[in-house]
Chains A and B, each alone.
Chain A
Amino acid sequence: MQRRRFLQATGSGLLLSALPGLSFARVATDARLVFVILRGGLDGLAAVPPYGDANYARQRGSLALGSPGAANGALDLDGFFGLHPSLTGLHSRFNQNELLVLHAVATPYRERSHFDGQDVLENGGTDAAAFRDGWLNRALAELPRTDDSQLGIALGSTVPLALRGSASVTSWAPSGMPNVNGDTLARIAMLYESDELLSTRLEQGLAADALADSGGMSMSRGRGGRQSLQPLARAAGNFLAAEKGPRIAMLEATGWDTHANQGVATGGLANRLWDLDRSLELLANSLGPIWQNTVVIVATEFGRTVAVNGTRGTDHGTGAAAFLLGGAVNGGRVLSDWPGLAPSQLYQGRDLRPTIDMRQIFKGVLRDHISIAERQLSARVFPGSNGIAARPGLTRNA
């Protein structure tokens, strides 16, 4: 938990000058862009339930959320789509027209491997091997600048693929051991299932930790039940708000691979969504007035199966939900070419069929918010995407 303590100590006025190796330029654009990648495959039907679809409750069974107004029901968006009840912050942004909800979106990737799916989402191509660098980095390279200092920052100890490439970027993470999240511990428990020694030791170690937690010593170990994005989100806002700070930031949140016991209005997924919601609020708050000129893209590598699996969870799917949020977003609506949830309407009989290519969204934001010409986007940022037009009208100034 050293990370959290460090951030509390530095407070919201994070001193950029005190951090070694970071120097930023004044640049042509004042627009800010944040890309939040949700690794593991967010269940879009849980985050953005289409409660108005007659097949939703039937297909989702025990994982279906109630309609707005019901106990623990969804938060209404437009009479057809709702938000998960944990997403109260996003809901009020929606009502202020600062949230655009996207549904049934996907990258061109159609298999179901996390690693490859994330690579495609980040490299901006049509398959995992398409590019060794990322579309955000290639976008950075298109920005006019006054010197060669870094315009991009990854909040984390390494730079994710989307931000890797020829344009110089930086990264920042608080020192100290990272938290081991509950999902990883649960997977390690499965990994040790047939190893008597290691499974016993793991059980003992976790029991000792629980005891230490109950004795108020939870700070001593550096391991929380959850991997919180909040400190990094707040730090991202502080970096972007600095006058000579970076313009583009990237955040990574894990824990979305909900194969078992994902819960409905409460439970594991609800907790992850709550943390995401809080994190985005902290990001908005730490940006201050800059929020008005900010677009946050929240996306995941793929969605999950429509039906519930045998362990009260969902498996890897295809069509997903995504969010655009920020003062610069033309929000207050849901953008979707809804494919429907009837069995015949599903992709390969199991997944939400994707109807919007994520690259249209990325290109729309880069063109209208960051001012990169569509010709450059098709030639150099998403090479070979001539047929994928930038989606117009995503931002207010468009």
Chain B
Amino acid sequence: METVIAANRFGLGARPGDLPAIGNDYQGWLLAQVDGPAALPRIIADLPPSADVLAEFQSMRQDMMKQRQTAAAADKPSPDVVNKARNILGPAYRDQLMARYTVAAGTEQPFRERLVHFWSNHFAVSADKPTVTALAGGLENEAIRPHVSGYFADMLLAVEQHPAMLLYLDNQASIGPNSKAAQRMQRFGRGRRKADINENLGREILELHTLGVDGGYSQADVTNFSKVLTGWSVGGGPGRLRQGQPGQFVFRSVIHEPGKQTVLGKAYKENGIRQGEAVLHDLARHPATARHLATKLARHFIADEPPATAVDRLASAYLKSDGYLPAVYAALVESPEAWDNILAKYKTPSDFVISSLRALSVTPDQPQQLIGSLMLMGQPGYRPGSPAGWGDTAADWDGADGLMKRIEWATAVGYRAGNFVDPPRLAENVLGSALSEHSGTWIRRAETRAQGLTLLLVSPEFQRR
């Protein structure tokens, strides 16, 4: 039973052969995957860096603005420019999504990969905002993957300095009211638009990324922290914004709010970019952050209503290790609560797609099918629609329409792949002891292989992990 839980709940779903390969040392199998750093999967390493994608997008935007200024009559950008934008955003998004699901379908380190997806959802950006469309995968690959088996503080810093997060939460537009730039704007008579901060990033870091909504911060903390973060921006741009490398993180001191700021009762002296880094460092070590992250991890890996004992154990491992994630993962894997219920979690559509691919030992071959499948079942790739990310309980996903969509999708998969598998044997190979006699019988009784595969995929055991 533990082997099945390791493969299907901690991992991304068993492939035929995985269960015997994992065997009895399921905890060792899991922890070996997160023991120190790992090289990026090849297909991920081959993707163009976010900075390049963004620099190209910025230069296209500048062309568009130039065109608007010169062609007085034309109030619409030319089709050329629009096509160019599409040609940058569409393929980048598509390639990132294909790479993500190709890795997930084939990886030998499914626990590590699930953790990548977990942290990516914890630090959610949403590709429905056009500036982020081509960057969401970059955030995951450049800020999360390198730190998934390192310190949370390092991941936090990498995320908050990634262009995807800065642009998603508008921090490049947040200007200190007493910054040099603000003073200049006042002096040169642009008084109509008063420069000020944008609290979006500061608030979400406190509420979502670190302390949690009940983490004990006040509105003043949000305001002050947002001031600390002014100047955290993205390089490249017209005129005065030319500072920094296009598409990369840059600290713009001209828009940074000068002076000492107090956050959570502690004063941080003016120190440019170091001021924000110091706050993030302290936030990462805060007991509320430990509890918030412990709760989310326990909810993802143990149960929708995570047992308090397990949450305590994870939070304490976090604080003791100074936020060293492998220590927290070890506490998780060693929690007895994780191993009592073989089917504790209802799969998300993404889980369902990945575990289906793994069961069939295939990787996605057509981007439109992958994108369409995730969209059909209600979890479009990199598009949670809010910085809170996707919900992580059954109630978020177990709607009637969602189930009907899964049945339709499983029927399509049955038609495509059913003739090439032996559904009863496949069910045993991927579900192991989780397969009930009842489901096994119905899969065996199917009138075609296609129908047998459909029944396996929609079975209560395969819909859960």
Task: Check if B401 is an interface residue, CB within 8 A of chain A.
Answer: yes
A220-251 CB contacts (< 8 Å) to partner B: 221-223
Q: Interface residues of B, CB < 8 Å — how many?
A: 40
A222/B463 in contact, CB under 8 A: no
Q: Which stretch of A84-92, A186-194, A288-296, A354-362 is in the interface?
A: A186-194
Select the residue from B376, B446, B448 with max chain A CB neighbours within 10 A. Answer: B448
Of the 9-residue stretches A68-76, A252-260, A262-270, A321-329, which lies at the interface with chain B? A252-260
A195 contacts B by Cβ under 8 Å: yes
Assuming the A-B contacts A197-B398, A205-B403, A209-B404, are A188 and B447 also in contact, with contact meaning beta carbons closer than 8 angstroms in the complex? Answer: no
- The smallest beta-carbon distance between A259 and chain B, in angstroms, is 8
Question: Shortest distance in angstroms between B405's beta carbon and chain A's nearest beta carbon?
Answer: 9
- B375 CB to nearest chain A CB (Å): 12
What residues of A have a CB within 8 angstroms of the CB of B446 in the complex? 114, 187
Q: How far is the CA of A178 from the CA of B418 in the complex (A)?
A: 14
Q: Give Cα A136 to B217, complex, Å.
A: 73
Contact partner of A178 (CB less than 8 A), chosen from B399, B404, B415, is B415
* A201/B403 in contact, CB under 8 A: yes
The 9 A-B pairs at the shortest CB distance, nearest first, are namely A40-B447, A257-B447, A204-B400, A205-B400, A205-B404, A195-B460, A201-B400, A39-B448, A201-B403
Q: Does B447 contact A180, Cβ atoms closer than 8 Å?
A: no
Instruction: Choose the segment among A59-67, A152-160, A277-285, A368-376 that binds chain B (4+ C-beta atoms closer than 8 Å).
Output: A152-160
In the complex, chain A residues whose CB is within 8 Å of the CB of B409: 177
The yes or no answer to A183 lying at the interface (CB within 8 A) is yes
Interface bits B392-403 vs A (CB < 8 Å: 1, else 0): 001000111111
A198: which B residues are within 8 A, CB to CB?
Answer: 403, 460, 463
CB-defined contacts of B419 to chain A, threshold 8 Å: 158-161
Q: Which residue of A lies closest to B346 (CB)?
A: A197
B459 CB–A CB distance under 8 Å: yes
Q: Is the CB of A191 within 8 A of B442?
A: yes
Asked if A190 contacts B447 (CB within 8 A), the reply is: no
B451 close to A254 (CB less than 8 A): yes
Q: B408 is contacted by which of A177, A201, A202, A252 (Cβ under 8 Å)? A: A177
Q: How far is the CB of B229 from chain A (nearest CB, A)?
A: 43
CA distance A198 to B418 in the complex (A): 23
Given A177-B409, A180-B408, A187-B455, list of 20 further CB < 8 A pairs?
Answer: A39-B447, A115-B423, A118-B448, A156-B415, A158-B418, A180-B407, A184-B407, A184-B451, A188-B407, A190-B442, A197-B394, A198-B403, A201-B398, A201-B400, A201-B403, A202-B404, A204-B400, A205-B407, A208-B401, A221-B408
CB-defined contacts of B398 to chain A, threshold 8 Å: 197, 201
Q: A288 vs B318: C-alpha distance in the bound complex, in angstroms? A: 76
Q: Which positions in A face B, CB cutoff 8 Å?
A: 39-41, 114-115, 118, 156-161, 177-180, 183-185, 187-188, 190-195, 197-198, 201-202, 204-206, 208-209, 221-223, 252, 254-257
Q: Separation in Å of the A356 CB from the closest CB of chain B?
A: 24
**Contact (Cβ within 8 A) B447 A191:** no
Residues of A within 8 A of B422 (CB): 115
* A222/B408 in contact, CB under 8 A: yes
Contact across chains for B416 and A157 when beta carbons are under 8 A apart: yes
Residue among A157, A180, A204 facing the most chain B CB atoms (10 A cut-off): A180
Q: Does B438 contact A (CB under 8 A)?
A: yes
Q: A193-B438, A223-B408 are in contact. Are A201 and B451 (CB under 8 A)?
A: no
* Residues 407 to 465 of chain B near chain A (Cβ within 8 Å): 407-409, 411-412, 415-420, 422-423, 438-439, 442, 445-452, 454-455, 458-460, 463
On whether A191 and B416 interact (CB within 8 A), knowing A40-B448, A180-B407, A205-B400, the answer reads: no
B416 contacts across to A, CB distance below 8 A? 157-158
29 contacts between A and B (CB under 8 A): A40-B447, A115-B423, A115-B452, A118-B449, A156-B415, A157-B415, A158-B417, A158-B418, A158-B419, A159-B419, A160-B419, A179-B411, A185-B407, A187-B455, A188-B407, A188-B458, A191-B455, A191-B459, A193-B438, A195-B460, A198-B463, A201-B399, A201-B402, A204-B400, A205-B401, A208-B401, A222-B408, A254-B448, A256-B447
Chain B residues whose CB sits within 8 angstroms of the CB of A197 once the complex forms: 346, 394, 398
Smallest CB separation, A73 vs chain B (Å):
29
- A11–B419 alpha-carbon span in the complex (Å): 30
Q: State the Cβ distance, A44 to closest chain B Cβ, in Å.
A: 16
The residue in chain A whose Cβ has the minimal distance to the Cβ of B458 is: A188
In the docked arrangement, what's the CA distance between A340 and B442, Å?
33
**A178 & B403 in contact (Cβ 8 Å cutoff):** no
A257 to B346, CA, bound (A): 31
* Across-interface contacts of A209 in B (CB, < 8 A): 404
In the complex, which residues of chain B have a beta carbon less than 8 angstroms from the beta carbon of A160? Answer: 419
Q: How far is the CA of A197 from the CA of B345 in the complex (A)?
A: 13
| A253 → B minimal CB distance (Å) | 10
Chain A residue with the shortest CB-CB distance to B438: A194
Task: Answer whether A177 and B412 are a contact pair too, CB < 8 Å, given A191-B459, A195-B460, A198-B460.
Answer: yes
